[in-house]
Amino acid sequence: MKQVTRVVLALVVTGALIGCTNPEPLADVDKQTAKRLVQVTAGHGSAGNALLEGPTFGPDGKLYLVDVTAPAGAPKVMRVNVDTKTVETIFTDATSAYTSAQFSPIDGRLYLTNVAGGRIDSITADGSDHRTVFSGDVEGEQMMPDDLTFDNNGTMFVTDIIGFLDPVNPNRGRLVRIDSATGAVSVIADQLESPNGISFDTDVSNLWVSQYGANRIDYVELNDDRTAVAVRRPAVYHDGGISQIDSNAVDSDGNVYQALHRRPAIVVYDKFGNYLTTIEIPVGDASGLDTATNIAVLPGTTTAYMTVSGDDGGYLYTFEALAQGIRQTNGG
């Protein structure tokens, strides 16, 4: 229990666990200001700030998301009607710290990474039938699953941020594969610096992986059956000062949306690593909100939403994406 508390407290302080250098200009005329849609949750008092993550549209057209730092009994998985701006709780428990959410393309269930418990859980869209899909050690060490993504067969690829709390040896992060057919678990990349965001490209062939500790997005090419890494290379460096990269998402044109911790903004790059734009919140909101963790784009449209959190609570903001939403622009 002490370890769980330590992890959750670290999340409050550091945010959701969470080529060529193409630094984004600080005064870019193409910057977009997102509009506040709705407050999803307040802060948690002595338990710390709210920290929204994992926004993903469900089959009902509602937006599902998690609050990483929610204390026992507080809303941990919620869904938002973005038209009526109403929020409802669909799941809570006493111990979990969910850092991401994504619907499986195979069984339609919502999968949740529990970074504090080293588990991956799933629930139905109404929050019932809670199951633990994976728990236990991975190659002799407990995983700290942060974000996940699915291939078209339902196989999970998970970023393991183990080493995040280790100032001496932080390069212990891993990329873990969980086979949908057999349940077999394998490490396909290791010695990563706190890997956080993970999304497939538009072909669902290769991965974009954001390393929180390195402030770098890697492009990870997989072999033909996606059982191993063929090539991994740096793709984009984030020259962000005190800010660090968090989750990521990919739209129908292959653009990569990179969320930021310690700066409530989303930076967008094309698939060649060229900087495109930054989505920010209004200046007047920024004093009480310091982190943008992720985005979701309504499939088939460019209507996008970003999760933003800080001392003032957890909020949804809306903006126009550069291209249409797909599965890779939802959750993870």
| Mean predicted lDDT score pLDDT of the chain | 91
Q: Is the pLDDT of residue 19 over 50?
A: no
Give 90-127 pLDDT, tens digit per residue: 999 999 999 999 999 999 999 999 999 999 999 999 99
Give 66-95 pLDDT, tens digit per residue: 999 999 999 999 999 999 999 999 999 999
What is the pLDDT, as a whole number, of residue 28? 46
Residues 6+ apart with CB under 8 A from 203: none
Please measure the distance between the N-terminal and C-terminal CA atoms of the chain and give it in whole angstroms: 26
Q: How confident is the model at residue 286 (pLDDT cuts 50, 70, 90)?
A: confident
Predicted TM-score (pTM) above 0.75: yes
Alpha-carbon distance of 42 to 103, in angstroms, equals 26
Burial classification of residue 86, based on how many CB atoms lie within 10 Å of its CB (0-12 exposed, 13-18 middle, 19 or more buried):
exposed
Residue 211 one-letter amino acid: Q
Element (H, E) at 310: strand 303-310
Number of Cβ within a 10 Å radius of residue 276: 17
What would the DSSP string read from start to end of 256-301?
A: EEEEEESS-EEEEE-TTS-EEEEEE--GGGGGG--EEEEEEE-BTS
Provide the β-strand partners of residue 218.
209, 234
Residue ranges of the alpha helices (H) in the chain?
2-14
Question: Could you identify the residue written with the tokens 């979701």?
Answer: 296
Tokens of 166: 């280790």
Looking at residue 71, the DSSP 8-state letter turns out to be P
Cβ atoms 15, 51 nearer than 8 A: yes
Number of Cβ within a 10 Å radius of residue 157: 24
Alpha-carbon distance of 266 to 279, in angstroms, equals 5
What is the average pLDDT across 283-307? Answer: 95
Give 130-143 pLDDT, tens digit per residue: 999 999 999 999 99
